[in-house]
Amino acid sequence: MRSVKILELRFWSRLVFLSCLVIPAVVNGQKGNAVNILEFRYGYTLPMADMQTRFGAANSIGLSLESVRIGNKFFLGFDGMYLFGNTVKEDVLANLRAYDGSIINVNGGPGDINLKERGFYFGLNAGKIFSTTKHKNKLTGVRTQVGIGYLQHKVRVQDNGRNVVALEKQYLPGYDRLSSGPALHLGLGYHYEHPRQNFHFSVMADLYAANTQSRRDFDYATGGPLDGKRTDLLGGLSIAYVVIISREQKSENIYY
């Protein structure tokens, strides 16, 4: 676990360094003929590689803040998403189940338990919007982006009746299979800014690729730690409502 902590420290130090480069660009986005945009995003994702053996399709909600140069349409910023789904393929509670598959509660009856997917991604991104409109100062066109960040996911064990002793809060880390690691985010889509009205949106195809590993020392279902690296992939579609925070207005020439 010590090597894991060293790798995490290196990753976070590099991410902080990149943040120090990006933050001034975002904060001062209104300077130098640029614009700051805020995006509220909803997405639908499908797992691939190692992640598809643990989870099924999931939903996501996200937020991003970016500074876009009007002249060349390059942008820098932050983005993040919260991942949630109801399909868990691995039975993390196998050691608790009776012969009929139920889990007995303190009253001697079957417990009401759900397994759900929870996770998040956050990181830095950069990209370019290739204009497809005659309005050159508008952010309408094909959008490409790449980002680096951190992906985490786990199994949420939800005891609806709160009457299964083995699933009390202090025991849950032994079941949730918490995994995380550095990730790459690739995106391709279309960004639209209405030339006159306050109606802006983007539609994106996204791919998240992460090198993750278990963050728990012990897993109850397997009777030991979950060792080994994971290759977790997430592909999906997302749509965002775009809010323009600030846009530089060029001052008119005044003659005396």
Give the model confidence (pLDDT) of 16-61 as tens digits. 555 554 455 444 544 558 899 999 999 999 999 999 999 999 999 9
pTM score, whole prediction = 0.83
| Most distant pair of Cα atoms in the chain: their distance | 92
Kind plus residue range of the DSSP H or E element containing 69: strand 58-69
Contact 142, 72 (CB under 8 A): no
Does pLDDT of 253 surpass 50? Answer: no
Rounded to the nearest 10°, the torsion over CA 197, 203, 208, 214 is 70
* Fold (CATH) for 2-244: Porin (2.40.160)
Report pLDDT digits (tens) over 56-94: 999 999 999 999 998 899 999 999 999 999 999 999 999
Average pLDDT over residues 239-248: 84
Displacement of CA 181 from its chain's centroid (Å):
12
Displacement of CA 142 from its chain's centroid (Å):
22
Tell me how far apart the alpha carbons of residues 176 and 155 are, in angstroms, rounded to a whole number: 5
Does pLDDT of 150 surpass 90? Answer: yes
- Residue 193: Cβ within 10 Å count: 23
